[in-house]
Amino acid sequence: EAGVVQSPRYKIIEKKQPVAFWCNPISGHNTLYWYLQNLGQGPELLIRYENEEAVDDSQLPKDRFSAERLKGVDSTLKIQPAELGDSAVYLCASSLNMRTEAFFGQGTRLTVV
Amino acid sequence: GNSVTQMEGPVTLSEEAFLTINCTYTATGYPSLFWYVQYPGEGLQLLLKATKADDKGSNKGFEATYRKETTSFHLEKGSVQVPDSAVYFCALSDLDTGRRALTFGSGTRLQVQP
């Protein structure tokens, strides 16, 4: 069974440009998470979806970040415009529901120059 | 709010040495506790978990016991090997508070030398 798939693995962009990350969760997993991992730190939650509904987006900087999960399956996370401080690894995870183990993708490493 | 504190790394050990990575937590409810591992170039993987006080999680020779009285969940392994070199994250999930996602510590890098 395929795990959580994220793309791209690496992305380098100039500041003020837009960028998007894509996540395909494990089949049948209703809960999807986006985490931000800064260098040398643990992941921090950006947004959690239950099916297609964003149920916890309190940590998502809504002035420049947006996310969607159409049809409750794949999800995209977008930054527009990107800032230097957005350089980090963006992790996607999924679980059957909020009470079960979360499985993580390999992440997208973003570098803003 | 919830928080997790881990010992800072890197932790450098020789093969077959005993490993302890300390983890303490703060939570308003009764959390579940986890250790995740991140091998170089790979995503986070669940290593072990414990869902209530005095539970012991174990996997691949690693163990951790949920200690409510000391709010700790220290990771131990009796004899580390070179392939154990990775970054280890302690985390908690507290369903009672509504913030139903993992809260992670900052990670501890383990380097095992042959």
Is the pLDDT at A99 greater than 90? The verdict is: no
Polymer length of chain B: 114
Please report the pLDDT score of residue B99 as a whole number.
58
Are B30 and B52 in contact by the 8 Å Cβ rule? The answer is yes
- Kindly report the average pLDDT of chain A as a whole number: 93
Please report the pLDDT score of residue B61 as a whole number.
97
Give B67-105 pLDDT, tens digit per residue.
999 999 999 999 999 999 999 999 998 766 555 688 999
Cis peptide before B10 (omega within 30 of 0): yes
Give A7-42 pLDDT, tens digit per residue.
999 999 999 999 999 999 999 999 999 999 999 899
B42 in reach of chain A (CB within 8 A): yes
Q: What's the rounded mean pLDDT across residues B21-48?
A: 92
Please report the pLDDT score of residue B2 as a whole number.
86
SS3 of residue B72 by DSSP? strand
Give B36-66 pLDDT, tens digit per residue.
999 988 889 999 999 999 999 999 999 999 9
**With the C-alpha atoms ordered A111, B2, B7, B11, is the resulting torsion angle positive or negative?**
negative
Window B:74-113, CB contacts with A under 8 Å: 89, 91, 95, 99-102, 104-107
Question: Chain A residues within 8 A (CB-CB) of chain B?
Answer: 3-4, 33, 40-45, 48, 56, 91, 93, 98-99, 101-107
Please report the pLDDT score of residue B95 as a whole number.
66
Q: Percent of chain A at pLDDT above 90?
A: 82
- Pairing of β A53-56 and β A65-68: unpaired
Compute the distance between CA of residue A46 and CA of residue A64 in angstroms, rounded to an integer: 13
**Cβ contact, residue pair B43, A105, below 8 Å:** yes
Q: Percent of chain A at pLDDT above 70?
A: 99
Please report the pLDDT score of residue B98 as a whole number.
55
Assigned token pair, B96: 């009672």
Polymer length of chain A: 113
Cis peptide before A8 (omega within 30 of 0): yes
Q: What's the rounded mean pLDDT across residues B13-29?
A: 94
Q: What is the DSSP secondary-structure string of B22-66?
A: -EEEE-SS--EEEEEEE-TTS-EEEEEEE-STT-EEEETTEEEE-
Q: Which residue of A has its CA nearest to B43?
A: A106
Are B103 and B91 in contact by the 8 Å Cβ rule? The answer is yes
Are A78 and A18 in contact by the 8 Å Cβ rule? The answer is yes
Question: What's the distance, Cα to Cα, between the start and end of chain A in Å?
Answer: 37
Is the pLDDT at A79 greater than 80? The verdict is: yes
